[in-house]
Structure 1
Amino acid sequence: MIVRKLIDSKFNQLSASERRIAKVITERYPVSALGGIEDIAERASVSPPTVTRFAKRLGFDRFNDFQRAIRSEVQDNDSSPLALFDRYHQSGADGGILADLAASVVRLEDDPAATAITQSVEIISACRGRIYCAGGRWSSVAAQYLAFQLATMRGEVHALLPQASGLWVDRLCDIKRSDILVLYDFRRYQEEMFAVAEIVRARGAKIVLVTDLDLSPICELAEVTLPVAVATTSPLDTLVPAIAATDAILVALVDVYKDRSSARMKRLEEVRQKTGAGANLDLRQWPK
C-alpha cells in the first residue's frame, strides 16, 4: 500500500507528535485513518493542526487529500458478486463462517467503530427534526431495519428505500437543517447514494454513514463514519456487523429516550388495537 509505505519511509523524519499520529493511523490501517481530524488528534493526544501538518509532511495539501489517497488505493474495484464467487472457488476456502462473523462483531468494540457508535448515538439523540434512513440496492435492508426499530421510540422517522419508486427522491426536498440522514453505503458504491448525500449536506442536515472498511466516498460528507466489515470467508458479503452496530446504537437510544419511548410505545399499541393493524396470532385459539 503506497500511503502506508510512505508513512513508514518518512517516520524517522517526523516530530514526536507526528510519530504518535503515524502510530495511530498504522495501528489498524487503513480503517484507523478514518474519521475527522479532531477524532484522530484525540486518539494521538495532539492538536488538530498537528494532524494537518502530518499530512503535509507526507506531501498532501490537505488531510482530506491524504484520506482520499488511502481510499483510492484500498478500494477493491473487482468486488462484484461474480468476482467474489470466482475468487472463492479458486481459493478453495471452506467453513469458519460463524467464527468469522463473530470476530467481525467483536471488532466493533474497538476504535474507530466504538467511537463512531458513541458519536452516532449523540447525533441521533440530539436531533430535533426528522431522521431519514437510506441505503442502496443491498444496504437498504439495514436502513429499513433501523427505521422500523427507531420509529417505535420517536416520531418522524422515514425510510428512503430505492424500491419505493420515485417517492423516496421526492422526500429529499423536505430535508431541513434540523434533520439527519443515517446512510448505509457499502462497496460497489452507488453514484445515486453519493448524490443523495450531497443534497442532504447542501440543505444543512447532518449525515451518519455506515460503510465498509474500504470506506465509501461519502465519508468526506459525513459527520460520523462508522466502519464495519462486510467481507467473509464465503463469497457473499454480510450485513451481520452492520446490523450489530445498528442494534448497539438502538440499545443506547432506548436509555436516552427513556420515558419518551415508553409513552410512544403505549400510544402505538393503542392505535394498533383500535385499527387491528399488525394483530398478533392468539395462540389460545390455535387448534390442539
Structure 2
Amino acid sequence: MGTSSQTIAERIQKRMDDLTRAERQLALSVLENYPASGLGPLASLAKSANVSVPTVARMVQKLGYKGYPDFQADLREELSAIAKGPIAKHETWAGAAPSEHILNRFTEAVIDNIRTTMAHIDPVAFDDACALVADRSRHLYIVGGRVTHTLAEYLFLHMQVIRPNLTHVQSTSNTWPHYLLNAGEGDVFVVFDVRRYENNTLKLAELARERGAKIVLFTDQWRSPVHRMADICLTSQIIVPSAWDSATTTMLLVESMISAIQTLTWDSTRDRMEELEELFDKTKLFRKFT
C-alpha cells in the first residue's frame, strides 16, 4: 500500500488493543464492509459507526496516516488491487521488472509472502481452526472456487485419511443445495476464496451460516467478503511477479493444518492409515519393490 505493505485491515487488527472504546467501535464498523466502508466522506463514516468526527481523525492517525485523505488513498489502492484481473496484474509487474532470472525473483516474492503471513497470523486462531476441523463429532465440508478448488481437494484428500464424516463440496453451485440439505448446527465448512472473490462462494457461506455451521476461511490479505461470517479467518500474502497470484503461502497454511490435526488425532489417524495400507495391498494400487 502507499505507506506500508500492510493492508488497512491488518493495521486495524494489529492496533485494536490500543484503541479507545469509540475507536474500536469505529474500527469494527470499517471492517464490517471493508474496504468500501471508508471511501465516503469522513462525516458519513463517523455517522455510520455512530461515533464523532474527531474519533475518526484520531483512529486514522493511530493507524499511521497524516489524515483521512491519505487513509482513503490507501483504501482506493487496495480496491484497485483486489479488482485486477490476470492481464492487468501482468502489465503492472512487467513495467518494473528487474533483469534477474524469474526463478530468483519469484522465490524472493514467495519468501516475502511467507514472512509477512507468519508475522500477522494469530497462532491461537490457527489452533482453534485445527481443533474445529479435527472434531469428528462435526461433519466437515470443504469447498474451493474456480482456482482454489485444487487447495480444497488437497485438504480433503488428507482429511479422508485422518477422519470420517466429511464431504468435498464440488465447486459447481447447482449442486450446493444438496450438500446444504444435510448441514446442521455446529458442522464445519472450510472455505477457500481469494481475489477475484466468487459470488457463489459467498452465497454458500451465507446459507451454511444460516444453518448454524461454523466457517473457517482461507483467504488473501484483502480478505474475501466471506470473512464477515467466518468464525476464523486465515489470511495469506499472495502477490508474486506473475499474472496469477501465488497459492504457495496458502498451501503452507493448509499443510501446517494437516500436520497439526494429524498430531491432535494421532492414535485414531494411525489406525486409519494402517487400515488404508491394507486396502492398498488388497487392490494392488501401488507397485511394491520388496
Further displaced range: 128-137 or 169-178: 169-178
> Would the aligned equivalents of 1:179 and 1:205 in 2 still touch at CA under 8 Å?
yes
Alpha-carbon deviations, 1:256-276, whole Å to 9, x = none?
001010111122222333344
SS at the partner of 2:35? helix
Alignment of 1:227-238 (within 5 A): 227-238=235-246
Structure 2 residue aligned with 1:97, among 103, 106, 114? Answer: 106
In 2: Cα distance, 1:219 partner to 1:127 partner: 24
> Would the aligned equivalents of 1:32 and 1:112 in 2 still touch at CA under 8 Å?
no
> Would the aligned equivalents of 1:131 and 1:179 in 2 still touch at CA under 8 Å?
yes
Structure 2 residue aligned with 1:214, among 219, 222, 231? Answer: 222
Gaps of 5+ in 1: 5-25
Aligned to 1:282: 288
Aligned to 2:22: 53
In 2: Cα distance, 1:250 partner to 1:88 partner: 34
Q: Tell me: CA distance 1:127–1:220, structure 2 relative to 1, closer, same or farther (3 Å).
A: farther
Gaps of 5+ in 2: 37-74
Alpha-carbon deviations, 1:162-189, whole Å to 9, x = none?
25x8445421211111310010100110
In 2: Cα distance, 1:168 partner to 1:231 partner: 31
Structure 2 residue aligned with 1:109, among 118, 126, 129? Answer: 118
SS at the partner of 1:66? helix
In 2: Cα distance, 1:173 partner to 1:87 partner: 44
Matched, 1:71 2:35: yes
**What amino acid is the match of 1:101?**
V
Aligned to 2:47: none
Alpha-carbon deviations, 1:134-185, whole Å to 9, x = none?
111011111111111111110122211225x844542121111131001010
Query: Aligned-residue CA RMSD in angstroms?
Result: 2.8
In 2: Cα distance, 1:115 partner to 1:241 partner: 18
> Would the aligned equivalents of 1:182 and 1:207 in 2 still touch at CA under 8 Å?
yes
Alignment of 1:17-32 (within 5 A): 28-32=6-10
SS at the partner of 1:152? helix
> Would the aligned equivalents of 1:108 and 1:245 in 2 still touch at CA under 8 Å?
no
Aligned to 1:19: none
Aligned to 1:199: 207
Shift of 1:40: 7.3
Structure 2 residue aligned with 1:176, among 171, 184, 192? Answer: 184
Q: Tell me: CA distance 1:118–1:154, structure 2 relative to 1, closer, same or farther (3 Å).
A: same
Q: TM-score under structure 1 normalisation?
A: 0.75
Structure 1 residue aligned with 2:90, among 82, 85, 92? Answer: 85
Matched, 1:263 2:261: no
In 2: Cα distance, 1:272 partner to 1:208 partner: 32
Aligned to 1:10: none
Q: Tell me: CA distance 1:52–1:194, structure 2 relative to 1, closer, same or farther (3 Å).
A: farther
What is the percent sequence identity of the aligned residues?
Answer: 20
Q: Tell me: CA distance 1:40–1:135, structure 2 relative to 1, closer, same or farther (3 Å).
A: farther
**What amino acid is the match of 1:207?**
I
Q: Tell me: CA distance 1:270–1:122, structure 2 relative to 1, closer, same or farther (3 Å).
A: same
SS at the partner of 1:176? coil
